[in-house]
Amino acid sequence: MAIPTDMLASVVELTNSTGFPRRFTCASGVAITKGTVLQLTEPRTASEVSGPEQPLCGIAAMDKSATDFSTSITAWTDGIFDVVASGAISKGAPLVSAGANDLKIATNATGAFSSGASIIGYALEDAAANITEKINVRVKL
């Protein structure tokens, strides 16, 4: 599924000018667009996020074609990115996937904070509820 360009994460600043890229396995016949938030599946495989609060592995640092026969992709794991916010977010809040390529505050159904690999980083800006907007996010995986 192609993600609309206005939903893709964009680089604001890469830590150490590289973003500490990591290489992950990915499916050969799948297209992934640079700027896609990636989830981690077994074994050490990256794919587009399929739902809320998935374990995350980074932001796609390259385009991957569905017809290139490649089975690996590079993901940035450290930096500041403009990412689409889902719902109200306060600066400093830990963030998790909300859906295909947006982030939300890391709380579960009981209101407790999520933990572990599902947290991609934290918000550097506030986001209003009911408005689709991009905010700066400190990604640290």
Phi, psi of 53 (to 5 degrees): 55, 40
Instruction: Tell me the C-alpha to C-alpha distance, in Å, between residue 27 and each of 11, 44, 48, 54, 132.
Output: 25, 12, 11, 18, 30
What distance, in Å, lies between the first and last C-alpha atoms of the chain? Answer: 25
Q: How many domains does the chain have?
A: 2
pLDDT at 108 over 90: no
> Are 58 and 75 in contact, with CB atoms under 8 Å apart?
yes
Residue 50, SS3 per DSSP? coil
- Stated pTM of the model: 0.92
Query: Which tens digits make up the pLDDT trace of 39-86?
Result: 999 999 999 998 898 999 999 999 999 999 999 999 999 999 999 999
Asked if 46 and 72 sit in the same domain, the reply is yes
Task: Note the residue count of the chain.
Answer: 141
Which strand (E) or helix (H) includes residue 135? strand 133-140
- Of 58, 77, 96, the last residue of a domain is 77
Asked if 28 and 38 sit in the same domain, the reply is yes
Amino acid at 119: I
pLDDT at 113 over 60: yes
State residue 91's pLDDT score: 97
Does residue 9 form part of some domain? no
- Of 31, 54, 77, the last residue of a domain is 77
